[in-house]
Each structure stands twice: as C-alpha cells, then as structure tokens.
Structure 1
Amino acid sequence: MEAADEESPLLSHPCLRPQPQDEYSRYTSDGTVDVNRQPALKHSTGNWRACFFILGAEFSECLCFAAVAKNLVTYLTSHHGAPREQRRRREERLHLGRQLLPHADTRLLQCSSLSTSFISETFSLTMCQGMFIMTSSPALPWLLPRSSDESGGVHRAAVYLGLYLVALGTGGIKPCATALGADQFDGADPAERVAKGSFFNWYYFSINIGSLLSATLLVWVQDNIGWTVGYAIPTVLIGFGLAVFVSGGKIYRHKPLGVGGSPLTRVCQVVVAAARNCRLELPDDTSALHENGMAQHTRQFRFFDKAAIVLVSSEKKGPWRLCTVSQVEELKMLLRMSPVWASMLVFFAVTAQMSTTLIELGMTMDNRVGGFVVPPASLSTFDLVSVLIWVPLYDAVLVPLARRVTGEHRGFTQLQRIGVGLALSAAAMAYAASVETRRLASASSMSIMWLAPCYFVLGAAEVFTSIGMLEFFYDQSPVSMKSLGTALAHLAVAGGSYLNSALLGTVASATGWISDNLDQGHLDNFFWFMAALSMLNLLQFVYCSIRYKS
C-alpha cells in the first residue's frame, strides 16, 4: 500500500508529498510547474517578477488594438477622399470588423486546453502580422495602378485581412494573458493570494493606459502626420511587447495541462452523455457513479449526474457515453456562474452607451469649453481617467479599509465588488436621464461637460464590476478551465454590445424615443429605461449572489 501511494500521480508534485518545512517552502503549493514542466520554485518563478512581463505585453496589445479601433471610422470613410458609395461600403466593412472580436474569443474557447503562454505568443504573432498589413495598406493605392479595378479590390482585401488578424489576435491574447498573470500567484500562500487580487486591478490599469495613449497621441499622429506612421508606431510596440513577453518565459508558472483534451470538449461530453442516459435512474448511492471520490460531489443540477452512470455491460463506453464525476462537477461549476454572467450582459449594455447614445447626446450640446472645442468622441477620456484614478485608490485605500471591517483578504468579496459596480451603473444612467430632461426643457444650449460626471461614474463602475468579474470567473472556474473562464468573462463584453444594439433598435422602432433629431425625441426616457433595467439586474444579481455556492 505504501508503494502504491508513493507512485500515485496525485503525489507527484513535491508540495503534495510530506516533506520538511524548508523543502516544502521551496515550491508553490498549487501544483504549478516551470517552463521545463518541473515543480515551480517560489523564489525564482512567478509573482510580480513574471507579471511585469505579462502586463507589459498586454499594455502593448491594448495600445495596438485601440490605435486601430479608436480612429477606424475616420480611416475607412475618409482615407484618400473616398466617394460616397465607397464610403458606404467601407462603413459596412467597419461594422463587420467591429464584430470580429467576439468571434475571436469564441475561437479561443476551442483551444483553451493549450498552454496559456503558448496561446498568447501565437496570437501576439497574429496581431503583429495584422498590424504590419494595416501599416502597409495606406500605401497600396499609390503602389498599384490607379486605373486598375483590381487595385481597389486588393486594397479592400488588405484592410479587411488586417482588421481580421488584429481582432483575432486581441481576442486570443486578452483571456490568456489574464489567466497566465493570475497563475503567477500561489493561491495557497496568504501573501501571494492578496497579490493576486491586486494583479487584476493593475491588469485593468495597464490596458486603460494603452487605450488612453491611443485615443490621444496616436489618434493625433494618424490625423496630422499620416496613417502609415500612425500604424507603424503601434506595430513596432506590439513587436517589442512580444519580444518582452517571450523573454520572460523562463520565470513563468504554468498550470499543468489537464487530461481529456479541450475543456470545452469535456463539457460537451457531459451534456451528450447525460442526454443519452436521460431515461436511466440515478443510483441512490452516489459512490456508484463513475470514478466518484476524485471530486466533491454536489446534488445541484442532478440531471447531469446521469453522464456518470455505470452500466453493467461488456461494451466499452467512450467519453461521449460515460464521464467521470470530476467532469460533471466541472460543468456544474460553470452553470453555477451563469447567472452572474447574465448580469454582466446588462452592465456592458449600459457601458456601451458611452460610445453610442451619450456621444449622440454630446453632439447636440455646446462643446466649447473656454478657448477649447471638445469633440464628443473625446468624452471617453473621462472614463479612462476615472479608471486610472480609481484603480490605485481602490488598491491602496479602499481594500485596506474594507479589510479591517470585513476580515476578507480582498477587502470585498468578488460578488460584493461586482454589486457595487452594478449599482453605480444604474446611478450613471439616472444621471444621464436627468441631464437630458434638463436639456430638453432648457431654452439655451447646455455645456457638453455636463456629461463628464456620467463618464466618470461609469469608469468607477468598471473598476468595481469589470475587474471583479475577471477575478470571479478566474477563481471560480475549475482548475483545468481557468483560461476558458476568463474567455467567458471577456465574451460578456461582446454580449453586452450585442444586447445594446438590440435594445436600441427595439426601443427606437417601438417608442420613437430615439430619433435622428434628439430634440424631437425622448432620449431621457431611454436612459430612465436603462436605469430601471439596471436596478432589476442588480436585484437579480443580489438574489443569485445570496444563493450562490462557491
């Protein structure tokens, strides 16, 4: 029996074997390994020393993507003085290009069983290729014969291919960078567990720094110097970011790859196996289920336990007919998080107003502030500045204060943090509604700066909800599905954007609140509607949070 125990794969990691305290402390306690697939040493791998490489790469990725996205409308509609019909077609490609990001995230789910660092390197290279094409595309009309019909087609194909590769690259990098960064901290170590919570804050801080620089400096370069230079700068930066990321490979900690293939495949196997066994009766003794004892069995969503029913048969059962209890519990963990994911859709539909209805509202207001003219699109700067203020304030002030009151090492639990952000988003919509009501009743034009507090509050809401969401989906996902969990979190952003489009279209056609001339509509009623929807969403979230079992 002792020999069998020594050979057990569960005891293969040094931290899981009885050892002297000094030997134990040399290794991480969560089973992570180094680049050579050996147990990770605490003193030479992971922690902030590794995260600096990851955050640097993520900063360059976000700056690169924002450099394309922030000024994409101008590039596609006015580049080389395109005629009206050509502009219309380019606007159609713009709309399609914006939809590529969520599709890129879904592709990531298919390969999330691979090493997160390997995926990040692969998609970083993909993004470099896309940016190189985007940098070269402005010169194509000058290199190709202008009279040739093929020149326009080649130019359009190059722009479309570049956009697709950039969107695919950023959709692959973000979820894996989040998961890989969090993997650098040992969850069993109290000090590193606290640092892991800070990582999510500074991860969000770094991507917003990149977005701010793109929205200001790079957009100015594109408009005043040229598109080639405006795209070349982020292309060089993403290449440098890839080099920095690869150079840190020796100190990264990695979660061992799970057996059984892709996590998404494992989940689908449980669903298919349970459906095939739907007419079978579950045994009274759950220990009779296939390979029970490897995971803590729960009685919630009992239907899926049928996937682990063992039949007395000489026929060998495949993974699509018989699953382990561990597989079943992985699916249950994801299902328990689904109400939280649904709440995120409404939240991101609210934040999507910053690039839709609030911009339209700003176009009807007086944008002169002193001797300056504030473009409505520049209002997003207040959101970015708010994030950059609130992240260090939250990490350095709010967390220590809350920790003294709650005793929670994070200060707030993840669900509490998300709830605060949901409440702030409802307050922001109520404020926007009151501003629009006052504008419609006012005889004189209102200053565009009345919208700045709305953006500032929504920025604070992002710090609470968006970062809390990333941390929640990482922590609560099964061990073998961390990258899939963070991918689902990023996918909620895309889902919220789609929901916002659906709400705008439905409300505009059913009520007339949203019209081409806002003075003749009632955009304030739409904002009140979004505030009410946000409050209902908050109540639903609170109810689900109380019932949620970690």
Structure 2
Amino acid sequence: MEAHKDTLLSEEPLENSIERRSERIIDIKGVKHHTTDSWRACSYILVTECFEELAYYGIQFNLVTFLKTVLHENNVTAARNYTNWQGTCYIAPLVGAIIADSYLGRYLTTVVFFTVYLVGMAAMSISASFPTCAGPDCLQDGSFKSFVFFLGLYMMAIGAGGIKPCVSSFGADQFDDSIPAERLKKDSFFNWFFFAIYIGSFVSGTAVVWVQDHYGWVVGLGIPTLFIAFAIASFMLGSSSYRFQKPLESPIVRVFQVLVAATRKWAVRVPRDDSLLHEAPENSSMVDVHKLQHTPELRFLDKAAVISSDDEIADPWRLCTVTQVEELKVVVGMLPIWATGIVYFSVLAQFSSTFLEQGRTMNKQVGAFAIPPASLASFDAVSVIFWVPVYDRVLVPAARRLTGRERGLSELQRFGAGLLLSVLVMAAAALVETRRLALARGEGLSSMSILWQVPQYFLVGASVVFACVGQTEFFYNEAPPSMRSLCSALALLTVALGSYLSSLVVTAVAWLTTRGGEAGWIPDDLNEGHLDRFFWLLAAMSALNLAVFVCCARRYSRKNV
C-alpha cells in the first residue's frame, strides 16, 4: 500500500508538469484545452469557411464571363488569365503556411490574409462600377478599369491562398488529441468542413451566378465582397473560444538544419544505441510538445543528431534533435502518397473541362427547360452535401463495428476509397460517351440526354468526400506540429499540379492521335473523335495510380509520438 501511495504521489506532479508544459507551448490565450468547448469554437470556423467559399466560388464560376464581356478579352487571353489566377490561389498557400508555422500562428495569419482578401474583393467591386467602353477597339490590359480589377483579383488570390492551409488546421487545433472522444470529434470536423465548402459552392453556382447574369457586375461582385466581410466577422466572434497554438521555429529552417548537419557529418558513424543520439532536455524552453521516437529509416539523416563534440550543442546547424530529424523523415515518407494526389486531381480536372465539352454535344432539352452543361456541376456539390452526413452518421459507425477502430476507416483507407471512386468516375464517363457516339453516328436514334452525365458528376462528389477529406486528415494528423500548415499547403498544391498534369496529358493525346492527318481523340467536333478512348485512358491511369497508392500505403510507417 505504501509503495502504491508513493507511486501516486510521484505520478501527480509529473502529470501537472506535462500539463503546464503543454499549456505553455500550445495555449497562448483563450480557454485552456481541457475546458474548451471544441464544437462551439469550430462552429464559428465552419460558418467562416462557408462564407469564404461563397465569395471564392462567386468569382471563380463566372470569372471567364467577366473577362470576356466586361474587359473584352478574347478566348485565349481569358483562359490564360483564369489559369494564372487559379494557379496563384493554390501556390499562395505555401506562403501563408510558412508565415503561420514560423511567425504569426494560424489565427493571426488568417486575420492578416482575410484583410488582404477583403481589400482585393472591394477593389474588384469598385472596378465594376467604372465606365465600360463599348466596341471591339477597347483597350484591354492597358485600361485603368483592368488595372484595378486585376490588382483586386490577385490580392484576392493571395488572401484566399493564404488562409486555405490555416483555417482547416486551426479548426483541427481546437481538439485535444490526447482525449479519444476529442479525436473522434476532430475526424468529424473534417467532414463538416468540406460540407461547409460545398454549401458555399452550391449557393454560388446557382444564386450568385444568377444574380451576376441578371443584375450586373456591380451587384454581382458586391455580394461576394459582403460574404467576405461576414466571414471575417464570424471568425472574429469566436476569438474568445479558440485554442491558439504557439508557432514553433520555421519548418523550412528546421529541415535545412537537418540536411546541413547531416551533410557536415557524412563521415560520422551512427551509434547502434539510439539513446546516444541528441534530444532536447525536458526543461528546455525549445522542447517540442510531441517528441518523436527514432525510426531506422533514412539512417543518413541520423548523422545530424550524433554528438561529436560538446561545442556543437549550441549550434543547430551542426547538431539537431532526434525529433527534428524524425520530422523530416515523416515529410519524406509522406511524399509518395502526396504524389498520388497529383494524379488524382489530374483526373478530377476533367470535371470542369472535357465533361463540359461532352455535355455540349448532348441533348440539353429537358421538358420545357434547356439545361446549360455547366449547371450540371451543381450535382457535384449536391453529392458532397449528401455524402458527408451519410459518411459521418452511417458509414463511420458501421465501419467502427466491423473494424473495431474508433475512427472506422483510417485516413489512408479513406483516401484509397476515393481513388477507387475516381476510376468509376472515368469509367462512367467513358460508357456514356461510347453510347453517345453510337447514337450520333447514325443508328437512327434520338440524341442522348445530358441527364446521363448526372451519375459521373455524383460519383465525383462521392470521390471528393472520401479522397479529399481523407487527404486533408492524413496531412494534418501525420504532420509534425511545427509543419501542419505547411503540409496542408502541400496537399493543396496537388490541385494545381494535377491541373498542369491534366493539360500535359491532353496535349500529349492530341499530338499523338492527330498524326497522319487524323481527327484525333478530342477534335472540335467530338462526333468525329473518340473522347471515350480518352476517358478510358484516364480510367486506366487512375487504376494504376490506385495500385501505386496501395503499395505506398502498405509501406508507410505512421509517426510514433
């Protein structure tokens, strides 16, 4: 009994010590982590994200129309400007992530970039009120109206990109991973985060676009600007409820310190006893909240943690901690899975390109209504809105009973399910196109209804719920605390790289299939081509990507805290 009593007495101060250290590192202000109502805090973040996406998609969906009808740009110029803008939106997250992880933290970084976002949206709205010259001889890029609009457009891109890796990570920060119930709430949060995104997408793709087409651009751009103001107000209202994570050292600097230190010690032997490698002491002010255990992979990097002299302990460019080395190993280990995301998004890029071209060749009349091909994209949002609650409330409990795991499916299993669904997306599109071509080439039957595209759009939404949410969860949960925003930005970068890969594949297919004077698979008149073969090619590419992902996922070792 006395021994048991001594144990209890010795454990209590240790718990208090750990809690005090955690609070010093993590909670800068606001409610402490064990009393915070995480869902109350996240409700503000979800509303913020919904308003932000209402504004973002309110610009994205009709940007080409504005460039052509208001700024009088031709098709090539408008397409180039749209691509450049969207590329900026998905490269800017790297800047926002580095600032958040290194200097300001996710909360302040979000506030700063939201301010840039709002100023950019206001500039775009003001530019719409400037007089527009009529006629084909109007100046395009040289006019003051164009200058103000593009200034606002790229300020918006920088603002939107800067907050993208921060808002989702900041929402996940509200949950305490050390409590099982909180971990489950965090998994659910990622589902509802994407639900909020697609609510914004659906409303913008229907109501906001309709207002822009019927009431003009002053009102049409003013409404998204108002949504950004609402987003900022919602985010700020929750300030007293948030947990705030203190930014650690620059993740980029930490990575280069390991590489430089390991290179300097290329001739040093790594000891067999891992305990001899350098780690920060418990009472150090720079100690990491979560120390990572040593792993045997990438042994060369372990040289950075080998103590060769006492003089180098104070020089982080000559001696790094085991945790610092393991952080780099974690990031390197995630790269193969990250690469499969690029191929996935190159397949999903057909959603806004070849799927629309396919729809334009189909019978768009449904009763008394003519359905624009672009409006079918709303079925993607409807699918996400349908699948998120089904997954969260039905599939997860069922998978939990089958697997015995608290989260049902792991992040990688969920990502893999989304990749499998992407194969079905392209197979469905190929089957529809095969049938459409058969009808169009003189079988004497009526043209195919555009509603036959609905299944492939619905499968896109289901794929997003599994793959995109799984990818976001994976990069947040596996990323070291000092690199969470940066890893979220890397996940977003796969969207931009996937678009570039899609363009490369389309260019290669067009070049290969038009040699010898052939019409090719994707000619201007799709009835003379073989878009179905292109879709089957993408289905095969997606299946190969799934196989690579399965191999990478089996070899992947989760970080060990």
Q: Please report the TM-score for the alignment, with normalisation by the length of structure 1.
A: 0.89
Shift of 1:518: 1.4
CA contact (8 A) 1:32 1:253 kept: no
Matched residue type, 2:494: A
Unaligned runs of 5+ in 2: 1-10, 282-290, 514-519
Corresponding residue of 1:287: 275
Shift of 1:93: 2.4
CA contact (8 A) 2:93 2:163 kept: no
Distance in 1 separating the partners of 2:23 and 2:555:
28
Shift of 1:123: 1.1
Q: Which one of the candidate residues 511, 515, 519 is aligned to 2:527? A: 519
Q: Which one of the candidate residues 36, 40, 47 is aligned to 2:32? A: 40
Instruction: List per-residue Cα deviations over 1:435-468 (Å, max 9, x = no partner).
Output: 1111112234211111110010111011011001
Matched residue type, 1:139: S
The 5-angstrom pairing of residues 140-539 of structure 1 reads: 140-141=130-131, 152-258=142-248, 261-291=249-279, 295-312=292-309, 314=311, 318-442=315-439, 443=442, 444-511=446-513, 512-539=520-547
CA contact (8 A) 1:277 1:307 kept: yes
SS of the aligned residue for 2:278 comes to: coil
Instruction: List per-residue Cα deviations over 1:373-399 (Å, max 9, x = no partner).
Output: 111111111111000000011111111
Matched residue type, 2:554: I
Distance in 2 separating the partners of 1:53 and 1:419:
31
Matched residue type, 2:459: V
Aligned length: 525
Question: Is 1:115 equivalent to 2:108 in the alignment?
Answer: no
- Could you tell which deviates more after superposition, 210-219 or 150-159? 150-159
Instruction: List per-residue Cα deviations over 1:247-283 (Å, max 9, x = no partner).
Output: 211110122332xx21122112222332333343333
Instruction: List per-residue Cα deviations over 1:481-506 (Å, max 9, x = no partner).
Output: 22222222222222211211111111
Change (3 A) 1:240 1:267: same
CA contact (8 A) 1:35 1:252 kept: no
- Could you tell which deviates more after superposition, 170-179 or 487-496? 487-496
Distance in 2 separating the partners of 1:486 and 1:14:
36
Distance in 2 separating the partners of 1:88 and 1:457:
31
Corresponding residue of 1:76: 67
CA contact (8 A) 1:434 1:524 kept: yes
Change (3 A) 1:28 1:470: farther
Distance in 1 separating the partners of 2:421 and 2:141:
50
Change (3 A) 1:536 1:41: closer
Distance in 1 separating the partners of 2:480 and 2:429:
40
Change (3 A) 1:142 1:373: closer
Distance in 2 separating the partners of 1:54 and 1:241:
9
Matched residue type, 1:17: N
Distance in 2 separating the partners of 1:30 and 1:498:
43
Shift of 1:310: 2.7
Change (3 A) 1:397 1:15: farther
SS of the aligned residue for 1:36 comes to: coil
Distance in 1 separating the partners of 2:143 and 2:13:
60
Unaligned runs of 5+ in 1: 1-10
Q: Which one of the candidate residues 27, 51, 55 is aligned to 2:42? A: 51
Change (3 A) 1:192 1:32: farther
Shift of 1:151: 9.5
CA contact (8 A) 1:391 1:463 kept: yes
Distance in 2 separating the partners of 1:325 and 1:46:
34
Distance in 2 separating the partners of 1:135 and 1:464:
36
Corresponding residue of 1:4: none
Change (3 A) 1:119 1:314: closer
Distance in 2 separating the partners of 1:335 and 1:471:
17
Change (3 A) 1:480 1:315: closer
Shift of 1:91: 4.1
Instruction: List per-residue Cα deviations over 1:33-87 (Å, max 9, x = no partner).
Output: 44527x71533x241100011111111111111011100010001116x275xx6
Shift of 1:18: 6.7
Distance in 1 separating the partners of 2:63 and 2:51:
18
Distance in 2 separating the partners of 1:324 and 1:529:
47
Matched residue type, 1:285: D
Distance in 2 separating the partners of 1:392 and 1:127:
30
SS of the aligned residue for 1:323 comes to: coil
CA contact (8 A) 1:29 1:188 kept: no
Change (3 A) 1:404 1:83: closer
Shift of 1:307: 2.1
Change (3 A) 1:285 1:410: closer
Shift of 1:152: 4.4
Q: Please report the TM-score for the alignment, with normalisation by the length of structure 2.
A: 0.88
CA contact (8 A) 1:208 1:388 kept: yes
Q: Which one of the candidate residues 541, 546, 554 is aligned to 1:546? A: 554
Distance in 1 separating the partners of 2:52 and 2:360:
31
CA contact (8 A) 1:269 1:323 kept: yes
CA contact (8 A) 1:76 1:91 kept: no
Corresponding residue of 2:6: none
Change (3 A) 1:348 1:383: same
